[in-house]
Amino acid sequence: MFREFRAEVEAALADALAARGLPTDDLGIEEPPEDVPATLASSVAFRLAGEVGAPPPEIAAEVAEAVDPEGYEYLARVDSQGPYVNFHAGEAYLADTLVAAQDGEYGRLPDRDTSVVVEHTSANPTGPVHVGRARNPILGDAIARVLDFAGYGVERHYYVNDAGRQVAVFTWAYETFDESDLPKPERDRADYDLVRYYRKGNQFLEDADPEEVEAAEAEIESIMRGLEAGDDETYERVERVVDRVLSGMRDSLERLPAEFDAFVKETEFIRDGSADDVVDRLKDTEYAVYEEDAWQLDLSAFGIEKMLVFLRSDGTTLYTTRDLAHHEWKFANYDAAVTVLGEDHKLQADQLKAALEILGNDTDQLSHAIYSYVNLPDGKMSTRRGTGVDLDDLLDEAIVRAREEVEKRLDSRIRDDELDEEDVERIARQVGIGAVRYDIVSKQPTKAITFEWERALDFEAQSAPYVQYVHARCCGILEEAESRGIDVGAIEFGGGEAAADLDPSVLDAPEERDLLRTIARFPAVIEEAAEDLEPHVVATYTREFAETFNAFYRECPVLAAEDERRRDARLALVNASRATVANALSVLGVEAPTSM
């Protein structure tokens, strides 16, 4: 309803300004300040002050007087307070919100008939996912979820670097060293098993005699050349290692969860000739120069001083060359492309975009979501002989810590056998992994953050458990109603004759109306997050929602309401709240527990 109300406000304000010959290009419509009691406000008076030659409060009063709310479904009245023009929604707005939010899919926007490919994570397939890159799959998966909920047709892709030197070293090492030369794997999974070969190979190249290293380098170079030439046998040798490592990495990522529709391999664009086609076309452009034994692009006309190498002197392509072919494939198959990258890849992203323009592509199709890295917490996570902290370590510790918090809060229910071991484990997993994911996705991507266990798992603060508890509380209220013989399904709007008698106007307490207004905003929050590729906007909304719901819960008894009409209306409001917070958490990739 909020989106419809905003459209009415825009139309009414634009008409009032146009009737007085005033510009309508910037209406200044925004959420009102806390001390302004309105559904929406406009700061247009600030902009018009210089043009009209009057103070903003005077202009705001005149504009409010000029706006005619007649004929609009939701716009009830307009007034001013100080420099703001205030727009107030009527009863129909709140009633329709309550109706709409009974739908389990509440907040999902209509189909836009627009396809988007979201590429994220894409860590090199050389071993387990390192926690230092955890923000990429968390942010990338959340962006994909937001776009999907906003009506886009979304595919999630992992771009596999299976043609670089690291993979060649890995393949050589796997074929060279014996199991007996390696330490015991840290976990019983393919990526942990095979990474031992990669580490052994790199150690050998650093420490072995020069003659042995020279022989090894020759074999590594042979693998790289075989890939570049599209040699089937070489491809199969590399694939044998890469695919097994990826299977383990997927297990780790699915715990977040972060799932993918396709794993697109770099070698595909070598083998189908598209990388060579990119090279030929780039050579023919005015930006191509041959310097320092390599073909490069001079991108200074695009404000980029660093040259972009796209072909080595030996005729082999580079990662960026293949990625250019990859992106042209994206443009041919999707309406838009989003790539999630760490801040250390910003230069490469700018170079890629410039090169794509040189190749004649419409780069308006491409968006980059750039993020800063997460500083890790102190804790019990093992660095395992200096190899770093894996994502699995972080998630394991999150579950352990969450279980400690859950057991403290559920002690009496565990002792009374209301919850068994499986229940406790489920809640600990939902809360623990949800806490990690929520804490990371809730921050603006470009801001560096330090992950802190105490904050992430604080049930009383603005954290995942704080929001998850709202969903569990809603479920508990609805379950209790059912146990008392109240058919909650029957009081949902559209659920039958009983539903037709439900009167939303009895929800007249300030806390009830605040909650309805907050629920009404949810679809607009989804729209904003999708347009800006910023899922943290949804996380901010969930915290505000939780605070508003908790105020309602404290002040407005549901099952102990004064009469049945008010009880049923509040149950409908609780059901609307449950759907809203469940969908908001789902968009963030955080589970919504039914009990906590």
Residue of 496, 497, 480 whose CA lies nearest to 567:
480
pLDDT tens string 1-59:
888 999 999 999 999 999 988 889 899 999 888 777 889 999 999 999 988 889 999 99
**Does residue 221 carry a pLDDT above 70?**
yes
Q: What is the pLDDT, as a whole number, of residue 451? A: 84
- pTM for the whole structure: 0.91
Q: How much is the average pLDDT of 331-338?
A: 98
Q: What is the pLDDT, as a whole number, of residue 386? A: 43
Q: What is the pLDDT, as a whole number, of residue 495? A: 42
Q: What is the pLDDT, as a whole number, of residue 406? A: 85
Q: With respect to CATH, is domain 397-588 assigned 1.10.730.10?
A: yes
Q: pLDDT category, 522, cuts 50, 70, 90? A: very high
CB neighbour list of residue 493: distance below 8 Å, 6 or more residues apart: 98, 99, 102, 499, 502, 572
Q: pLDDT category, 373, cuts 50, 70, 90? A: confident
Q: pLDDT category, 378, cuts 50, 70, 90? A: low
Q: What is the pLDDT, as a whole number, of residue 414? A: 64
Q: What is the pLDDT, as a whole number, of residue 416? A: 62
Distance between CA atoms of residues 405 and 456, nearest Å: 12
Distance between CA atoms of residues 532 and 340, nearest Å: 13
Q: What is the pLDDT, as a whole number, of residue 206? A: 95
**Tally of helices (H runs) and strands (E runs) in the chain:** 22, 14
Q: What is the pLDDT, as a whole number, of residue 500? A: 43
pLDDT tens string 73-93:
999 999 999 999 999 999 999
Percent of the chain scoring above 90 in pLDDT = 80
Domain range list for the chain: 2-89, 274-371, 397-588
**Does residue 494 carry a pLDDT above 50?**
no
**End-to-end CA distance of the chain, in Å?**
31
**Does residue 491 carry a pLDDT above 80?**
no
pLDDT tens string 443-475:
999 998 888 888 888 877 779 999 999 999 999
pLDDT tens string 96-139:
999 999 999 999 999 999 999 999 999 999 999 988 788 999 99
**Does residue 499 carry a pLDDT above 50?**
no
Q: What is the pLDDT, as a whole number, of residue 415? A: 62
Q: pLDDT category, 379, cuts 50, 70, 90? A: very low
Q: What is the pLDDT, as a whole number, of residue 385? A: 42
Residue of 93, 88, 90 whose CA lies nearest to 67:
88
Of the listed ranges 180-184, 363-367, 456-460, the least confidently predicted one is 456-460
Q: How much is the average pLDDT of 535-544?
A: 97
Q: How much is the average pLDDT of 59-65?
A: 94
Residue of 595, 592, 545 whose CA lies nearest to 573:
545
Q: How much is the average pLDDT of 584-589?
A: 98
**Does residue 422 carry a pLDDT above 60?**
yes
**Does residue 144 carry a pLDDT above 50?**
yes
Order the strands of the 288-291 sheet from edge to edge. 288-291, 294-297, 308-312
Percent of the chain scoring above 70 in pLDDT = 94
Q: What is the pLDDT, as a whole number, of residue 566? A: 92
Task: State the residue for tokens 């890849």.
Answer: 345
Which CATH topology does 2-89 take? Gyrase A; domain 2 (3.30.1360)
Q: What is the pLDDT, as a whole number, of residue 421? A: 85
Distance between CA atoms of residues 352 and 339, nearest Å: 12
Q: Is the distance from CB of 153 to CB of 269 less than 8 angstroms?
A: no
